[in-house]
């Protein structure tokens, strides 16, 4: 009887193992379906805004064809940047092991979703198409976010801070480049800039490491690849 009891005890974990494996596979499958669904919603443009568009009360200016095209190209770049932000934060939250860090990511992602909706709305007003490269940049950003999440909270949050620092600098340049009369686009970018700066300081305050200068230079280079390509394509 004793030997049978020992054998039963040794065998019982293996009896339950197939159930555990199936559960993990189901969770993985659920995550894959969820992320594919979210990616499609982001790329198609059905992500709702939870806050009012800041340009709603700003009168529309009578832009020349040249000015309209310039604004459209700049806002297309910013729209793609928000596509990348959605992918980045979702990738980071997916692989982060810290509930506190995931909460920071999820809150920032909600505000980035507002930015995406505002940029999409402005593109329609300017009669400008979205970038054909959006799917590729979404996939690249999502993969980068997953890697960042696996490296631990300090790196993960530090990556957010460094990214948002790049975005703030980028938005400042676009605000200056926009046609003088295009107050609707400027109003959107000014609000986005304030939110991005808040994301940067929040990430640092929650323990993110300040990336070294060489890492930031590499990120600047990658950012330029995105901005220059989506300006035209």
Domain boundaries, the chain: 15-53+61-232
Among residues 91, 92, 82, the alpha carbon closest in space to that of 170 is found at 82
How many whole angstroms separate alpha carbon 152 and alpha carbon 122? 37
Q: Looking at the predicted structure, is the pLDDT value of residue 169 above 80?
A: yes
Among residues 190, 186, 67, 78, the alpha carbon closest in space to that of 127 is found at 67
Percent above pLDDT 90 for the chain: 71
Q: Looking at the predicted structure, is the pLDDT value of residue 24 above 80?
A: no
Q: What is the pLDDT of residue 102?
A: 86
Condensed to tens digits (0 to 9), the pLDDT of residues 41-77 reads 999 988 789 999 999 999 999 999 999 999 999 999 9
Mean pLDDT of 75-93: 95
Q: What is the pLDDT of residue 5?
A: 43
How many whole angstroms separate alpha carbon 153 and alpha carbon 48? 29
Other Cβ atoms within 10 Å of 63 Cβ, number: 18
Mean pLDDT of 137-155: 94
CATH code 3.20.130.10 for 15-53+61-232: no
At 40, give phi and psi (nearest 5°): -65, -40
Q: Looking at the predicted structure, is the pLDDT value of residue 17 above 70?
A: no
205's enclosing H/E stretch is: helix 183-205
Contact in structure between 75 and 122 (CB atoms under 8 Å):
yes
Structure tokens at 70: 């310039």
Q: Looking at the predicted structure, is the pLDDT value of residue 12 above 60?
A: no
Mean pLDDT of 189-215: 94
Question: For 2-11, 144-153, 222-231, which range has the lowest pLDDT when averaged over its residues?
Answer: 2-11
Condensed to tens digits (0 to 9), the pLDDT of residues 106-129 reads 888 888 999 999 999 999 999 999
Q: What is the pLDDT of residue 34?
A: 87
Mean pLDDT of 89-94: 91
Q: Looking at the predicted structure, is the pLDDT value of residue 182 above 70?
A: yes
Residue with the two structure tokens 């793609």: 80
Q: What is the pLDDT of residue 30?
A: 79
DSSP character at residue 81: H
Q: What is the pLDDT of residue 68?
A: 97
pTM value?
A: 0.86
Contact in structure between 171 and 109 (CB atoms under 8 Å):
no
Other Cβ atoms within 10 Å of 5 Cβ, number: 9
pLDDT range class, residue 2, cuts 50, 70, 90? very low
Q: What is the pLDDT of residue 28?
A: 62
């Amino acid at each position: 009887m004793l030997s049978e009891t020992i054998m039963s005890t040794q065998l019982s974990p293996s009896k339950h193992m197939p159930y555990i494996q199936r559960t993990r596979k189901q969770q993985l499958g659920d995550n894959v379906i969820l992320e594919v669904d979210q990616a499609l919603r982001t790329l198609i443009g059905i992500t709702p805004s939870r806050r009012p568009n800041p340009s709603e009360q700003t009168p529309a200016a009578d832009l020349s064809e040249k000015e309209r095209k310039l604004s459209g190209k700049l806002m297309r770049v910013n729209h793609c940047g928000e596509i990348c932000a959605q992918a980045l934060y979702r990738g980071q939250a997916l692989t982060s092991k810290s509930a506190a860090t995931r909460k920071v990511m999820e809150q920032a992602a909600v505000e980035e979703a507002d930015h995406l909706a505002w940029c999409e709305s402005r593109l329609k007003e300017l009669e400008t198409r979205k970038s054909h490269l959006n799917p590729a940049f979404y996939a690249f950003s999502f993969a980068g976010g997953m890697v960042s999440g696996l490296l631990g909270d300090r790196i993960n949050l530090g990556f957010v801070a460094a990214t948002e620092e790049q975005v703030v600098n980028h938005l400042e340049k676009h605000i200056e480049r926009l046609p003088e009369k295009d107050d609707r686009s400027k109003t959107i970018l000014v609000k986005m800039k304030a939110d991005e700066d808040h994301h940067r300081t929040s990430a640092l305050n929650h323990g993110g490491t300040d990336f070294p200068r060489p890492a930031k230079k590499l990120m600047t280079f990658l950012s330029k690849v995105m901005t220059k390509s989506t300006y035209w394509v």
